[in-house]
A and B are shown apart, each in its own frame.
Chain A
Amino acid sequence: MWTFLYQLASPKIFYERTGTYQIPLLWIAISLMTVGAIWGLFFAPPDYQQGDTFRIFYIHVPSAFLSMMLYAYMGFLSLLLLVWRIKIAGLMIPLVAEVGAAMTCLALLTGSLWGKPMWGTYWIWDARLTSELILFFIYLAILALHHAYQDHEKGDQLTAILTLVGLVDLPIIHYSVYWWNTLHQGATFSLLSKPKIALSMLPPLLFIFLGLLFFSVYLILNHARLVLLIRERRQQWVKLVCKEGK
């Protein structure tokens, strides 16, 4: 296991190994998301209070969960770069941030669409909504900071530091519904207790969440491999890859 991970720190091995997983990951992701979306739209039972509007849950919750999960992963990558000097980790931080920003945007928009029929407003400066909006701005700040530097090593390091600073927003998002009086409902899932949702409503959520997760991994690997090629373009193996066009 550790040998495999150490080997992945080498750009050439990372490029070769990840190439084999890309297409299967994409197909698994598309299949899971298609099944989840069709199940969520047409086969899951309606909620007894919210009716069919509840079906937004199947898009909103996985995207919101992923927006936080991807940020936590960026925090882990930042530690890998700053403590263990693994360069591929630094390269991946802005790539994960792009996908994370898209997920945060999707969570905010679907939440807003859900808010109008349930709360009577698209937006309110509620603790959960505001802290999630701040997460979106942090993602944008990380992307802007990274693109501001032509020296990518310095850019990677400063991005990693900003990422670690922004980590403070994650517990605020998670506990916002407990610390303040909010319109947003409390957590449906927790590690230590049963889910507060009927089991017949659960499968589409799992399908879409796993689908989005696999799709995010596919996007990040695809982008990482391309950035790696540009950064390592003076190496012989990159010239061979370009000739073969793989």
Chain B
Amino acid sequence: MALGWHNIIARTALRVNALTGAQSAALNTTFNTRPLTQTQFKSAVFPFLAHVHAVVGVAGMLAEAIASTAEHPGRARLHAVTAELTGNQVDGVVLPTVSADNDPIIGLFGAVRETIETVPKRPLTREPLQRVLTLIVNSNSFYKQTYYKYAMRGERIWFTRPTAVIDCCVWNETTRLSEATSNTGAPPFADSLADALMYGALKMLMRDDEFLQQSQAFGAYFDSVIALLRGGQVAVPAFVEPAQPARAEG
């Protein structure tokens, strides 16, 4: 995403009246200040870090939706690989929960690639477990060809090469919170999801009866975006204000 974390946070802060600047010009200056800090926030309900946590939390939901959708192109922005796994084991290998960089793995696993060949990281193809086990056991060394196969069942993987890595998606909430606080990096999504990220954060930014209607309206939109992403959609529709918008609030 070309937009940095604080571009999203500035937009959410504006909609819950959290930024300093009573007059338009002053508010505009605050809105454009980078990086944002607590200094630019006046809201007693939603201070700066509340926005950071809301945006990062919602970004995690978007990431989970994309990572849980096989073949979704957005997975590339969340991509990581696992540490090298050891194959040719009858009892398989327990699937890792963190990437090679120790980031928590989310969603579905991607391609499984072997790592021992001179042509590195050739992809393995998925096969029924029974066929893969037949190759691993290879009674009487019957099979002499080189096979690039794997099977997954539950929390385990079996594969027919000595070593392999698995493509995966990762989401490290701690790292993202740090990035979002200091405005380093950017949300790992396409720009077309910037509004979804903002409206999703606004869903979170309600307390008691503060911004309740606004939260419901934006929340409904965000939920529809999540459903679309899980259905494999790449582009999502723009937010349309409901017939009874939340203008009266705030």
Indicate, yes or no, whether A interacts with B.
no
